[in-house]
Amino acid sequence: MIFGLFRRDPNRQVIERLHGEIMAAARQPALFLDFGVADTVEGRFEALTLIAAIALRRMSRLPPPAGQLAQQLTDAIFAHFDVAMREMGVADVGVAKRMKTLAQGFLGRSAAYGTALDQGGCELEAAILRNVYGGQGSAASLAAYAVSCAAALETADLTTYLKGPLPFPPAPSTEAR
């Protein structure tokens, strides 16, 4: 039992790379400057949740060990949330409560985005408008970008997830649209 504490997780490097690629895709300046995602803690959470949901959706359709990797990736994302809150000065007592709220938001949004992508139509735009923009403005451009991310990831097989990089398209800037 004690030796289990010293065992390295063979998927650790894969999970760290996937997490880094998802974070990089969610932090593209165009998302904030051109798509109007708020450059706040909440806005960054929304961008990360959208991109992660798309990546996890594709992983759920891949053969084993993709399911295990998806769970480990989700755990890594939440570990990142935990560290970020502590760095922002949230007290230990408040972290658990906020983590529960974040988990509910992440899982609910992921389900909504996945269902909307599966159904097509304007459901994705409505879900993004509600979650990312608080029901104000237009979500058409971000929804179109999310669809392009989902389409690009449909070509990704398990080897792509294991070795990288994930084929996230760059978010187009205002000049490119």
pLDDT tens-digit map of 88-109? 887 777 778 888 999 999 999 9
Question: Residue 28 pLDDT more than 90?
Answer: yes
In a domain, 59, yes or no: yes
User: Average pLDDT, stretch 114-140?
Assistant: 95
- For residue 96, give the H/E element and its range: helix 92-119
In a domain, 112, yes or no: yes
First-to-final CA distance of the chain: 57
Q: Look at residue 85 in the predicted model and tell me its pLDDT.
A: 83
Residue ranges of E strands in 49-152: none
Range of the domain at 63: 13-167
In a domain, 119, yes or no: yes
In a domain, 6, yes or no: no
In a domain, 48, yes or no: yes
Positive or negative, the CA dihedral 14, 18, 24, 30 is: positive
In a domain, 174, yes or no: no
Give the integer Cα–Cα distance in Å for 86 and 98: 11
In a domain, 5, yes or no: no
In a domain, 177, yes or no: no
